[in-house]
Amino acid sequence: MKFTMSWLKEHLETKNKDTQIIDKLTDVGLEVESFENISSDLDNFKVAKIINAEKHPNADRLRVCEVDIGQQNIVKVVCGAPNAKKDLLTVYAGPGSVIPKNNMKLTVSKIRGVTSYGMLCSESELKLSDESEGITELKPSKYSDKIGKNFFKNITEKVVDLSITPNRPDCLGVRGIARDLAAAGVGKLKSTSHKNIKKDGSQNIKVSITKDKNQGCTIFGSCLIKGVTNKESPKWLKEKIESLGQKPISAIVDVTNYVMLDLNRPLHAYDADKIDKEIIVRNSKKGETFKALDNKEYKLEDEMCVISDQSGVLGLGGVIGGTRSGTELKTKNILLESAYFIPRSIRKTSKLLNIDTDAKFRFERGIDPQSIEAGLLKASQLISEICGGKISKFDIQQFKKYKNSEIKFNISLFEKITGFKVKENEIIKILKDLGFKCSKKKSELKLKIPSWRPDISQPIDIVEEIVRIKGYDNIETIEPKKNRFKDTLNKQQKLFHFLQRSIASKGYFETVTWSFTDSKINNLFKENLKEIKIVNPISSDLDVLRNSIFSNLAFYLKKNLDRGFKDISLFEIGPIFKNKNPGEQLTVIGAIKSGKISRLNWNEKERSVDIFDVKKDLIQTLIEAGYDKQNFFIRDKSPSYYHPGKSGSVYLYKDDIDPVAYFGELHPNIVKKLDIKTEGLVGFEIYLDCLKDNKIKLRDQKSHFEYSDYQKSERDFAFVVDKNYKAQDLIEIISSIDKTLIKSIKVFDIYEGENIPSGKKSIAINVTIQSSEKTLDENDLEKINKLIISTVESKSGAKIRS
């Protein structure tokens, strides 16, 4: 909402300075976005003289002009206008200027090899007229001594630009703003002058509002003004319209716009001679069409509120008028409309047709239903003053009578909500100044809500009115109390934060990527989950919710590889989506690692990353989170986006149905499809929702501290097993032979090849044996040795390697 101070002062009698007014506006909730001279941009436009004009060396139609822009500055400007000649006085715009017509910002640029510093402007470019043939020609008599001076006189006032919240339609008019300021102590609201106007004859175009279901118009007021001479608006009116950055059109249109900006009372003027007999306000029928003032043809649906005559639709009520009945300069008789349209209906229609107009914006927020006559009065009076003509009596058709609603307000509510007290008579004064009618009954106020405040319906709204006018500064700052009802984090949240830092501590960079992704990449990772499309995606490559944590990680990994990074470790912790309903999401950690370990290292051999790198990070993270590695179980099953032979899943317990994590190499086909070029690409996922809560606290798990001081012995074994035999099974067999004696088992070599039959491999393990009762002698050790060999051989079909 824009206005000038002088306009404001037509409604507000005040001695306050502009800065005080500006501060107050923000204080009462009318946020000032800016207070500046809107024409300041125009200071870049200077009166200039062409002192030389030559043909462009590389273009026949262009000229290279030397231009005097004052203060002994001569600049070179390339110009295409035929009238760009020596000695012409014209308007020069320097680099940085914004051309009013197209908002184009000028820069120093080369035009066909010649550098041009700025531009010489046509009248059309300056929005002075529609003249676009050639540059502006200024009269030497008026301008010859003004070279270098601003072309636009700085007569325009500073403009206040407010950001009006949707609950305050009344402040979309200058008067509403003045009322708030007056209530807040900045001057006095002037009363509206009621000049009596002479009304001649009746409004003889019949108006009817049909009793349609969900009729969107409840009041339709109108009057005729006959015998007008439409013309350019007078200077004061033009300046008002222009001061807000709008374009004056004709007196009739400018007056309706002026009344709208002044009182937030939208009006519409029809050329009365173009109306076919009568006005019918009705619901549209599907398939009806009409051409609107934006020159677009609209096809209507059922139940849109239209203003029509006997030939068809004239306009969409409260949204946009039509070309058929629009006023022109030659218009002689006009019908002025001042109506009330229901916000919901306006919103529905404009959404369906995708129309956004000033009128729609206002009606959607709620126009004062009691301003019908005031609008007609002010506008018809102005039109007849400017354009002449006789004003008819007003015709008001009402579908539903509007009544001011009333509420009861208990004064104590104010202090209960705000924490501070305001004296009763001050409360009453504030409310009265805002337009409420107040009567008091004990500690209760009976309030009649002003018709221009559709936002107010209950006592809490009254609290807001008082506190914002009184000022939020009066609210005390109360020291926060530290009382607590619940732990800050629940167990799952603690786990989230723990895992996040646990993974980062292993050398991964945490990233946060969109919850949506490119469906093409998502398809590579979504397995059997349903694709979740976004109806209105921000771009076509972010068109679905991610089914997997890997799609974005892989995409951004590639981006970083393309930036020249090679050895990358990234992870993200966040949601993935199983389906589109609320709650059908999982929290997942995804980590991805590329390139090599020890690349270009002087003392360690470099090698590509492999799955045991990520397995290490994964298992260690689970251990740190408090899960017992002794119970972990690895299977070689994993989702299809992993390399089928180089991936696995981790179960907290062997009998668990669901794995808690996957790890492995990414499937080579996917790597190829995504065109990722790296020596190695491995990753892992942890599903937080599957991580069972450790029921026993860590501190309780650790209550027993047992150890043995007797001597440890180590024995090495090498077993020859089938190639597909799993080390995990071998370890399990051995560890279950004697859980008290066998303290640890390490795999220290895997060998295939010479001396091993084909289809077989050798697994070499080291077993640590220790008793907690005595030092084991050779006999004891030999016994357990033999037991290990015989048990392994019988249970696994392995052979000890001699």
Partner 1 sequence: MSDIKKIRDEYLIKLDNNLNYESVNQIKTELFGKNGQISNSFKTLGSLPNEERKKFASDLNSIKEELQEKINSKIQEIEIKEINSKLENEKLDVTLPEREINQGKIHPVSQVIDEISSIFSEIGFSVEEGPDVENEHYNFTALNTPDNHPARDMHDTFYLDNNKEILLRTHTSPVQVRTMLNGKPPFKIIAPGRTYRSDSDQTHSPMFHQVEGLHIDKDINMGHLKGCLDYFIKSFFEVDKIKMRFRPSHFPFTEPSAEVDIGYELKDGKIVIGEGDKWLEILGCGMVHPNVLKNVNVNPDKYQGYAFGIGIDRLGMLKYGINDLRAFFETDYRWLNHFGFDPLDVPSNYRGLSR
HSE, CB side, 13 Å, CA atoms: give it for residue 722: 7
- Eight-state DSSP code of residue 601: -
Stretch that binds partner 1, among 78-86, 160-168, 327-335, 659-667 (CB under 8 A): 160-168
Span near partner 1 by CB under 8 A; candidates 40-48, 165-173, 626-634, 682-690: 165-173
Stretch that binds partner 1, among 78-86, 467-475, 704-712, 740-748 (CB under 8 A): 467-475
User: Is residue 624 near partner 1 by the rule CB under 8 A?
Assistant: no
Min CB(217)–partner 1 separation in Å: 16
Q: Kindly tell me which residue out of 72, 235, 442, 582 binds partner 1, with binding defined by CB under 8 A.
A: 582
The answer to whether 171 and 178 are in contact (CB under 8 A) is no
Using CB under 8 A, pick the residue from 146, 190, 468, 596 that binds partner 1. 468
- Per DSSP, the three-state class of 630 is helix
354 contributes a contact to partner 1 by CB under 8 A: no
How far is residue 579's CA from residue 563's CA, in Å, rounded to a whole number? Answer: 35
**Nearer Cβ to partner 1, position 480 or 645?**
480
How are beta strands 119-120 and 89-93 bridged, if at all? antiparallel
| 529 belongs to the binding site for partner 1 (CB under 8 A) | no
Q: Considering only the stretches 97-105, 225-233, 534-542, 721-729, report the one whose residues sit in contact with partner 1 under the rule CB under 8 A.
A: 534-542
Residue numbers 484-503 binding partner 1 by CB under 8 A: 484-490, 493, 497, 500-503
Which of residues 420 and 710 has its CB atom nearest to partner 1 in the complex? 420
Rounded (10°) angle between helices 459-470 and 424-433: 90
DSSP conformation letters of 245-292:
TPPP--HHHHHHHHHHHHHS---EEEEGGGS-SEEEEEE--TT-EEEB
Which residues between 698 and 757 bind partner 1 (CB under 8 A)? none
Least spacing, CB of residue 614 vs partner 1, in Å: 13
- Residues paired with residue 260 on neighbouring β-strands, in sequence order: none
Residue 461 binds partner 1 (CB under 8 A): yes
Q: Check binding of 300 to partner 1 (CB under 8 A).
A: no
Q: What is the DSSP letter of 437?
A: E
Among 141, 354, 458, 802, binds partner 1 (CB under 8 A): 458
Q: Which of 568, 588, 622, 730 binds partner 1 (CB under 8 A)?
A: 568
Of 355-374, binders to partner 1 (CB under 8 A) are: 364-365
Query: What single letter denotes the amino acid at residue 735?
Result: S
Least distance in angstroms from the C-beta of 599 to partner 1: 9
Nearer to partner 1, 552 or 713 (CB): 552
Residue with Cβ nearer partner 1 (155 or 478): 478
Verify binding: residue 612, partner 1, rule CB under 8 A.
no
Q: Give yes or no for residue 28 binding partner 1 (CB under 8 A).
A: yes
For partner 1, the closer CB: 371 or 552? 552
Indicate the residue among 484 and 702 with the shorter CB distance to partner 1. Answer: 484
Segment interacting with partner 1, rule: CB under 8 A, options 118-126, 289-297, 464-472, 705-713: 464-472
Smallest separation (angstroms) from partner 1 to the CB of 263: 20
Q: 382 CB contacts (<8 Å, ≥6 apart)? A: 255, 258, 259
Structural contact between residues 127 and 101, judged by C-beta atoms closer than 8 angstroms: yes
CB of 554 to partner 1, least distance (A): 11
Contacting partner 1 within 592-611 (CB under 8 A): 598, 601-604
Site for partner 1 in 626-645 (CB under 8 A): none
Out of 19, 141, 477, 724, point to the residue binding partner 1 (CB under 8 A): 477
Contact status: 797 vs partner 1 (CB under 8 A)? no
In angstroms, the CA 566 to CA 597 distance is 10
Asked if 525 and 592 touch (Cβ cutoff 8 Å), the reply is no
For every residue of 483-537, DSSP letters joined together read --SS-SS-HHHHHHHHHHHHHHTTTPEE----SEE-HHHHHHH-TTPPPEE-SS-
Query: Considering the complex, what minimum distance in angstroms separates the CB of residue 345 from partner 1?
Result: 9
Residue 557 C-beta: closest distance to partner 1, Å: 8
DSSP 8-state code for residue 166 = T
Instruction: Name which position in 467, 589, 666, 686 contacts partner 1 (CB under 8 A).
Output: 467
- 339 residue type, one letter: A
Closest separation between CB of residue 481 and partner 1, Å?
Answer: 7
**Concatenated DSSP letters of 761-786:** EEEEEEEEE--SSS---HHHHHHHHH
Q: Which residues pair with 533 in a beta bridge?
A: 544
Whose Cβ is closer to partner 1: residue 603's or residue 724's?
603
For the segment 662-681, give every residue that binds partner 1 (CB under 8 A). none
Give which of 342, 378, 348, 338 is closest to 363, Cα–Cα: 342
Rounded Cα distance, 628 and 620, in Å = 10
**Scanning residues 319 to 338, which ones bind partner 1 (CB under 8 A)?**
none
The only residue of 91, 353, 532, 734 in contact with partner 1, by rule CB under 8 A? 532
Part in contact with partner 1 (CB under 8 A); list of ranges 191-199, 458-466, 742-750, 777-785: 458-466
Q: For residues 635 and 648, what is the distance between their CA atoms, to the nearest angstrom?
A: 6
* Other C-beta atoms lying within 10 Å of the C-beta of residue 653: 12
- 12 φ/ψ angles, rounded to the nearest 5 degrees: -125, 125
Query: Which of 18, 206, 329, 565 is in the footprint of partner 1 by CB under 8 A?
Result: 565
Structure tokens at 476: 């005390």
For partner 1, which residue of 268, 348, 378, 615 counts as binding (CB under 8 A)? 348
Amino acid at 279: I
Residues in the chain: 802
Stretch of 152-160, 273-281, 454-462, 752-760 contacting partner 1, by CB under 8 A: 454-462
Q: Shortest Cβ distance from residue 582 to partner 1 (Å)?
A: 4
Q: Are residues 764 and 720 in contact, defined by beta-carbon separation less than 8 angstroms?
A: no
- Measured CA to CA, the distance from residue 341 to residue 267 in angstroms comes to 12
Pick one of 155, 512, 657, 698: the residue that binds partner 1 (CB under 8 A).
512
Binding residues for partner 1 restricted to 398-417, rule: CB under 8 A: 416-417
Q: Does 550 bind partner 1 (CB under 8 A)?
A: no
Burial of 779: CB neighbours in 10 Å, binned 0-12, 13-18, 19+: exposed
Q: Is 419 in the site for partner 1 (CB under 8 A)?
A: yes
Joined tokens for residue 117: 């510093």
Judged by CB under 8 A, which of 11, 46, 168, 265 binds partner 1?
Answer: 168
Contacts by 699-703, CB closer than 8 A, 24 or more apart: 701/626
Q: Number of residues in contact with partner 1, rule: CB under 8 A?
A: 96
Q: Do the Cβ atoms of 84 and 53 come closer than 8 Å? A: yes
